[in-house]
Amino acid sequence: HITVISNKTFDELQQIISNTRKITLIPNCIEDSWFHLHKKTQIENNKILIIGTKKNKNLHNILQAVKNLDIKLIIVGKLNDSDRKKLTNIKYENYYNLSREQLQKIYLQSQILLFPSLYEGFGLPIIEAQALGIPVITSNIEPMKSVAGKAALLVNPHKPDEIKTAINKLLNNHHLRQNLIEAGYLNANQYRCSRIALKYAQLYTSLLQNESFSF
């Protein structure tokens, strides 16, 4: 039996394995400690958090989108020389090799998570941000669309103008941010480790009841 973490990986695996009855979708999870740090009040510092700098994280289109915006990027992940050249006229801070506590602190200092990824197996930063009370902008493709639920602004990751519009919309609309924060917390709550562990326990129980094993 095979478990997959998103409908995206389920669909990809179907192209290889015809018997989908042997595939079960059980998503990733986050520890309760993330929820304990949930922000009670919003901050308005125009700091936009970027998690990841590999090609699929779409940094190229992000940097086009934020040109001429009065924001500061907080970029987590190593930057190459080409990336740094593109950042010449953009305010930014860069961090990598962070502990979990350091990463959580950076989340909490940010006003928005910008995560218009081109490809993910799951998209854990979406859930991390939602658990901490950070509104999210992410891609309108799978698996990000499903992981975010109805608790994020969805954009076409290939269109910098659309990303830019979403940033401005979220920066300038306090009511929208608050709604996304509240909806995000409820969405992230589905991904608590205790809930996901129960799904695995139910699967193992089912397999033990229906299969004979030799030890």
| Cα of 49 vs its chain's centroid, Å | 11
What number is the average pLDDT over the span 46-73?
Answer: 96
| Cα of 110 vs its chain's centroid, Å | 14
Nearest-angstrom CA–CA distance, 110 and 36: 17
Answer yes or no: is pLDDT of 215 > 50.
no
Nearest-angstrom CA–CA distance, 79 and 213: 49
| Confidence tier at 92 by pLDDT (50, 70, 90) | very high
| Confidence tier at 211 by pLDDT (50, 70, 90) | low
| Confidence tier at 21 by pLDDT (50, 70, 90) | confident
What pLDDT is attached to residue 36?
Answer: 92
Three-state DSSP state, 30: strand
The letter for the amino acid at 182 is: E
Closest to 25 (Cα-Cα) out of 42, 13, 7, 43: 7
What number is the average pLDDT over the span 71-87?
Answer: 96
Query: Hunting for tokens 């009511």 — which residue is that?
Result: 175
Answer yes or no: is pLDDT of 213 > 80.
no
Task: Give the lowest-confidence range in 18-22, 30-34, 160-164.
Answer: 18-22
Closest to 203 (Cα-Cα) out of 21, 48, 11, 15: 21
List beta partners, residue 95: 76
Answer yes or no: is pLDDT of 200 > 50.
yes
Percentage of the chain modeled with pLDDT above 90: 88
Quote the mean pLDDT of the chain.
94
Answer yes or no: is pLDDT of 164 > 60.
yes
Q: What is the DSSP string of 197-213?
A: HHHHHHHHHHHHHH---
Percentage of the chain modeled with pLDDT above 70: 98
3 state SS for 100-151: HHHHHHHHHCCCEEEECCCCCCCCHHHHHHHHHCCCEEEECCCCHHHHHCCC
Taking only Cα atoms into account, the Rg of the chain, rounded to an integer number of angstroms, comes to 19
